[in-house]
């Protein structure tokens, strides 16, 4: 018999990439000990290939190779970075390239990101502008 699982069990399953979790497994490791949070579950997904529950066939998390490729594409564009882009890099905790921008997703930022698989990116808006360190600028 299949019974609904608790929110805590769903989070543990999502973080661990499992499709089924027993109550004993949840008790044994606990969501807190696994480092899980509701945000982790939303980022991690729970189905095969990290697909979120209820996601369609196209809603699959990017592979590490796809994320690396996105990083390389951004690195290749380093000579034409808009001034509003303050940084980018792979965040291993979420398995995506995080792009930080001041303000919002302006047309310049969109052009900079054009052609890069959006599944590989997380754009963080409202970052502080880059300022030179004292004595360097």
Q: What is the tens place of the pLDDT at every residue in 14-56? A: 544 544 444 444 444 444 344 444 444 444 444 444 444 444 5
Rounded CA-CA distance 37/33 in Å is 10
Q: What b/e readout covers 96-130, taking b as 16+ CB neighbours within 10 angstroms?
A: bbebbbbeeeeeebeebbeebeeebbebeeebeee
Q: What percent of the chain has pLDDT over 90?
A: 45
pTM score: 0.55
Asked if pLDDT for residue 133 goes beyond 90, the answer is no
C-alpha to C-alpha distance for 69 and 22, rounded to whole angstroms? 37
Token pair listed for 65: 């190779």
64-124 belongs to CATH 3.30.300.50: yes
User: DSSP letters along 16-47, please?
Assistant: HT-S---HHHHHHH-TTTTT--HHHHHHH-SS
- pLDDT at residue 117 above 70? yes
Residue 123 clears pLDDT 60, i.e. is over it:
yes
Sequence ranges of the domains in the chain: 7-50, 64-124
pLDDT tens column, 80-96 = 999 999 999 999 999 99
């Amino acid at each position: 018999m299949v019974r609904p699982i608790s929110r805590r069990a769903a989070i543990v399953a999502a973080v661990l990439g499992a499709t089924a979790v027993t109550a004993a497994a949840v008790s044994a490791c606990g969501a807190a000990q696994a480092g899980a949070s509701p945000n982790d579950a939303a980022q991690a997904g729970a189905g095969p290939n990290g697909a979120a529950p209820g996601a369609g066939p196209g809603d699959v998390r990017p592979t590490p190779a796809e994320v690396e490729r996105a990083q390389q594409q951004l690195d290749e564009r380093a000579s034409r970075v808009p001034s509003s882009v303050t940084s980018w890099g792979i965040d291993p905790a979420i398995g995506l390239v995080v792009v930080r921008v001041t303000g919002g997703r302006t047309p310049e930022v969109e052009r900079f990101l054009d052609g890069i698989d959006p599944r590989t990116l997380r754009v963080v808006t409202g970052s502080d502008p880059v300022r030179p360190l004292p004595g360097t600028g």
